[in-house]
């Protein structure tokens, strides 16, 4: 299991509350991945450091708190870094250990114990450095169960990691090659680059095949006049739980972890009045700072949202960060070009978690007013009886169309 140090660089005007919530989310991501957080560090700065993103003084201070690096495997930074910055940070960790080793050796020399004493830093350890995208990709990779999801992750990884490999190659070529000669690194980089470009084309072709099949499924549903509801929302909001409760798909995977769902699956919602059905599509959840490359790679999975007739924006009402998360989801939908004239319902979920009755009533009233245009509905996806009204609304909807 990876022992991780978490670093978050925030703007100087970031509130204490928001700083805490950001760190909390990063901790959940690390936990979902299976890592253990050993240290947290938040640095306020208006501009990230050009070379290493994190200020080097602050970083050194953090590393100083370790007796040795036995207790550290990975540094996770809660921001999106440039490939070169990640590379520089990894180098920084190696150079730190080399410096420590030198200091130890000099001290042993002075003390006259150089023959018997061995520095704790004798064999520098490679500390991995991940940015937020790396961490999300690792979780995706761990959770992906379908071939399509795996291909989409590989595509996103190539797009994210590719420049880093080229960056390192550049470094190697500088070391290996003199003026006017082609360095070993450079040739290797070119080979790697060609290999990755070929692989990317192949993956894109394969993903297209899957996406064509899904399109045929969607067309066939449309031809039968079935309307599709897409469940959209922040990760862990309860989308899959809702799908399970609305449809007969009892094998839908639900888990208290981030990015439990990575594909898109559909189920049928039976409407008792009109004796017809709607299709419910569950898909991948969103998160703050989702990199565009990732959204792009998952376009075929997300097509279910883009082409749905109705959007159920599922919201965890018990979440302290509710408004921010609503906004993040809306922004990602805008990036995806989800048409604004789709019928949209705000499904305020996990109502059972709000224990104080008067607080709950007040919150409902506020949310009803604030989001009046999005048909606010208050439910607990875990309690089917709270879904009657929602199902009745859908039934009435089919009746008039
Ligand atoms: N108390 C309570 N817990 C809920 C409710 N709905 C979902 N949960 C829990 O919330 C967690 C996340 O639920 P999921 O349905 O997997 O959430 P999701 O939106 O599909 O999450 P991702 O697929 O990771 O994006 C699980 O532990 C569920 O049991 C609810 O109405 N009340
Ligand atoms: Mg899910």
pLDDT tens, residue by residue, 96-116: 999 999 999 999 999 888 778
Q: Which CATH number fits domain 3-143: 3.30.750.24, 3.40.50.2000, 3.40.50.11060, 3.40.50.880?
A: 3.40.50.11060
CB of 32 within 6 A of ligand 1: the answer is: no
* CA-to-CA dists, residue 206 to 64, 140, 144, 262, angstroms: 48, 19, 16, 17
172 pLDDT tier (thresholds 50, 70, 90): very low
Report pLDDT for 175: 46
Distance from Cα 98 to the centre of ligand 1, integer Å: 47
Mean pLDDT for the chain overall: 89
Which ligand places an atom closest to the C-alpha of 286? Answer: 1
- The pLDDT assigned to 167 comes to 54
Q: Which atom of ligand 1 is nearest to the CA of 284?
A: 25
Whether the domain at 3-143 and the domain at 225-400 fall into the same CATH topology: yes
> What percentage of the chain has pLDDT greater than the value 70?
94
Q: Is the CB of 288 under 6 A from ligand 1?
A: no
Q: Which atom of ligand 1 is nearest to the CA of 379?
A: 31
Domain boundary assignment for the chain? 3-143, 146-216, 225-400
Using the predicted structure, report yes or no on whether residue 168 has a pLDDT greater than 60.
Answer: no
pLDDT grade, residue 173 (50/70/90)?
A: very low
Residue 158 in contact with residue 199, Cβ under 8 Å? yes
Structure tokens of 20? 């805490």
Does residue 252 contact residue 379 with C-beta atoms inside 8 Å? no
Q: CB–CB of 259/378 below 8 Å?
A: no
* Distance (Å, whole) CA 92 – CA 52: 8
pLDDT tens digits along 319-373: 999 999 999 999 999 999 898 889 999 999 999 999 999 999 999 999 999 999 9
Model confidence band, residue 185 (pLDDT cutoffs 50, 70, 90): low
**Contact call for residues 293 and 157 (beta carbons, < 8 A):** no
Q: 180 falls in which pLDDT band (50, 70, 90)?
A: very low
- Give the residue, out of 31, 240, 287, 354, with the most ligand 1 atoms within 8 A of its beta carbon, to mutate for a pocket test: 240
pLDDT digits (tens, 9 = 90+) for 141-165: 898 888 988 999 999 888 887 767 6
Report the predicted TM-score, pTM, of the whole model to 2 decimal places. Answer: 0.89
- Here the tokens at position 222 are 């449309």
Q: What is the pLDDT of residue 177?
A: 43
Residue 263's pLDDT is 84
**pLDDT for res 83:** 84
| pLDDT tens column, 72-89 | 999 999 999 988 899 899
Confidence of residue 239 (pLDDT cuts 50, 70, 90): very high
Residue 352 · residue 380 · CB < 8 Å = yes
285 lines ligand 1 (CB under 6 A): yes
- Shortest-distance atom of ligand 1 to CA 353: 1
CATH class of 225-400: alpha beta
Q: How far is the CA of 262 from the centre of ligand 1 (A)?
A: 14
**Radius of gyration of the chain measured on its C-alpha atoms:** 25
Express each pLDDT in 288-329 by its tens digit.
988 888 888 888 889 999 999 999 999 999 999 999 999 999
Ligand 1 contact, 235 CB (< 6 A): yes
Residue of the CA atom closest to atom 12 of ligand 1: 236
| The pLDDT of residue 184 | 54
Percent of the chain with pLDDT over 90: 67
User: How far is residue 341 from each of residues 190, 309, 344, 375, measured CA to CA in Å?
Assistant: 47, 10, 8, 14
């Amino acid at each position: 299991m990876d022992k991780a140090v978490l670093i978050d660089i925030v703007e100087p005007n970031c509130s204490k509350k928001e700083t805490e919530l950001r760190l909390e989310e990063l901790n959940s991501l690390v936990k979902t991945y299976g890592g253990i957080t050993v240290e947290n560090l938040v640095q306020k700065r208006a501009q990230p450091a050009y070379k290493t993103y994190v200020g080097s003084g602050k970083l050194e201070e953090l590393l100083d708190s370790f007796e040795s690096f036995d207790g550290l495997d990975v540094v996770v930074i809660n921001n999106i870094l440039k490939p070169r910055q990640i590379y520089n940070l990894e180098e920084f960790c190696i150079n730190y250990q080399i410096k420590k080793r030198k200091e130890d050796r000099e001290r042993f020399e002075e003390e006259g114990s150089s023959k018997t004493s061995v520095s704790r830093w004798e064999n520098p350890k490679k500390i991995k450095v991940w940015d937020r995208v790396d961490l999300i990709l690792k979780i995706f990779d761990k959770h992906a169960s379908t071939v399509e999801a795996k291909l989409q992750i590989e595509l996103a990884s190539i797009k994210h990691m590719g420049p880093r490999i080229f960056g390192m190659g550049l470094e190697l070529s500088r070391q290996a090659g003199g003026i006017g000669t082609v360095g070993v690194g450079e040739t290797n980089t070119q080979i790697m680059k060609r290999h990755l470009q070929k692989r990317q084309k192949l993956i894109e072709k394969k993903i297209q095949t899957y996406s064509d099949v899904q399109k045929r499924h969607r067309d066939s549903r449309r031809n039968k006049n079935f309307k599709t509801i897409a469940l959209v929302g922040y990760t862990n909001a309860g989308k899959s739980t809702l799908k399970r409760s609305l449809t007969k798909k009892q094998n839908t995977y639900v888990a208290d972890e981030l990015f439990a769902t990575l594909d898109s699956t559909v189920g049928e919602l039976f409407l008792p009045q009109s004796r017809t059905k709607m299709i419910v599509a569950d898909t991948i959840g969103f998160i703050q700072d989702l990199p565009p490359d990732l959204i792009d790679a998952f376009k075929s999975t997300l097509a279910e949202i883009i082409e749905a007739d109705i959007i159920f924006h599922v919201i965890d009402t018990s979440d302290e960060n509710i408004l921010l998360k609503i906004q993040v989801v809306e922004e990602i939908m805008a990036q995806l070009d989800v048409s604004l004239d789709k019928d949209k319902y705000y499904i305020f979920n996990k109502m059972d978690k709000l224990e104080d009755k008067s607080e709950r009533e007040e919150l409902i009233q506020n949310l009803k007013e604030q989001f009046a245009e999005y048909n606010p509905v208050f439910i607990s996806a875990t309690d089917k009886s709270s879904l009657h009204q929602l199902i009745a609304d859908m039934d009435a909807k089919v009746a008039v169309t």
